Amino acid sequence: MLIATAACSGKSGEEATNTSSPVTSTAGMPATTGTASNAAEEKLPDLTAAQVVAAFAGKNFKCTTDEAYQTCSQGTTSVQVLLGKHPRPPVLSLQATGVGAEATTTLADFVPTALEVAHVNPRGQIADWLKGQHGKASAQTTAGNWTVLFSTEADSDQPGAILTLTDKLCTVDCGAE
């Protein structure tokens, strides 16, 4: 599966997340801002990578370590979290295995809950944006302090859809070596 390298925040949780930042799309369609699903969204405090993994384990995901990432999976969905001592994970990769539109639909259904479990802000904007990417092979946007990349894999041993979030504020040890 595709894993992107990223940036992580060196700031405290209060400084690191700017929920007032609009989503800026580079996918050729307008980005969503202020929709009903995220208008009253509660800002959640940042979690460290270890706390994110513990939160998924608490939701009955099976978590294993692979090099620099902890992977938590349940059924056809999984989340990969870049490990480290950052205030929040520098990279989160949400994945759904399957073929084409089926995988994208599964991913779109998984994302709202996964982003809430991981305490990603602004999760509603990201989830709304992803819904607009159905039928596309890839797209990229920004939301708050996250760079968001959607992609699909068809010609691999594990086809599926992937949503990778990278923290734009990270300055040190921001990707797997």
Sheet strands (E) in 57-169: 62-66, 69-74, 77-82, 91-97, 138-143, 146-153, 160-167
* Distance of alpha carbon 61 from alpha carbon 19, whole angstroms: 28
- pLDDT-derived band at 119 (thresholds 50, 70, 90) equals very high
The pair of structure tokens assigned to 158 is 């594990």
* Distance of alpha carbon 114 from alpha carbon 117, whole angstroms: 5
* Residues 6+ positions from 150 with CB-CB distance below 8 Å: 27, 130, 133, 136, 138, 139, 140, 161, 162, 163
Q: Quick one: what percent of the chain has pLDDT higher than 90? A: 67
Give the bridge partners for 95, in sequence order: 78, 162
Pairing of strands 160-167, 91-97: antiparallel
- pLDDT-derived band at 13 (thresholds 50, 70, 90) equals very low
Closest CA to 13 of 73, 109, 87: 87
**pTM score above 0.85:** no
pLDDT in tens, 15-56: 333 333 343 333 333 333 334 444 579 999 999 999 999 999
